[in-house]
Structure 1
Amino acid sequence: MRWTSALAIYVLFWSFSVFLVLPFGVRTTHEAGGEHVPGQAESAPHEFDIWKLVWRVTIVATILFVLFQLNYRYGWITARDVDLFHRMDMEMR
């Protein structure tokens, strides 16, 4: 695999991981015991630390990317393994 392809796949893993990581570790103002600001949504985070989010997302994306690369190299799970309706077998006939 070319390094540009690997970089593009890593960026996809990173952007997907944002949505995986974003809901975890969020505390609302009510949960944090802070003062509610009029007009603020009750579900809004009390404090939003972008660098903590970036760090967590990078860790998750890197783990997923390494697993992807290992699977790409060693072929643990192939397209035939996830073919639930046996369409690949029908194409071979």
Structure 2
Amino acid sequence: MLSTQLINGIRRYRQTEGLSIRGYARLAGVSEPPIRGIDSPNWNPTFKTLAKFEAVIPPEFMASANENDGGNGGGGHCAQAGSCKSAAA
């Protein structure tokens, strides 16, 4: 499932970069409450939240994360669907 790959990539990027939840929220331009549960397997972000995080993660990182998760390396869910920015706007 593409959203699972994207969520895993978002989590992995935060861990790799050593970002706090507050810092990661600030970087992505979202408020802190929507991502408080980021480390929970039950985290269920909105499409708009996913798009904001994917926008700040380098495409190379997401492609690598997807390949490591057995994905297609296509740059994440939003790259697959076209453009999150236009879909979320």
TM-score higher than 0.5: no
Higher radius of gyration, 1 or 2: 1
TM-score, normalized by length of structure 2? 0.31
With the length of structure 1 as denominator, give the TM-score of the two structures: 0.30
Higher RCO by CA contacts (8 Å cutoff, separation 6 or greater): 2
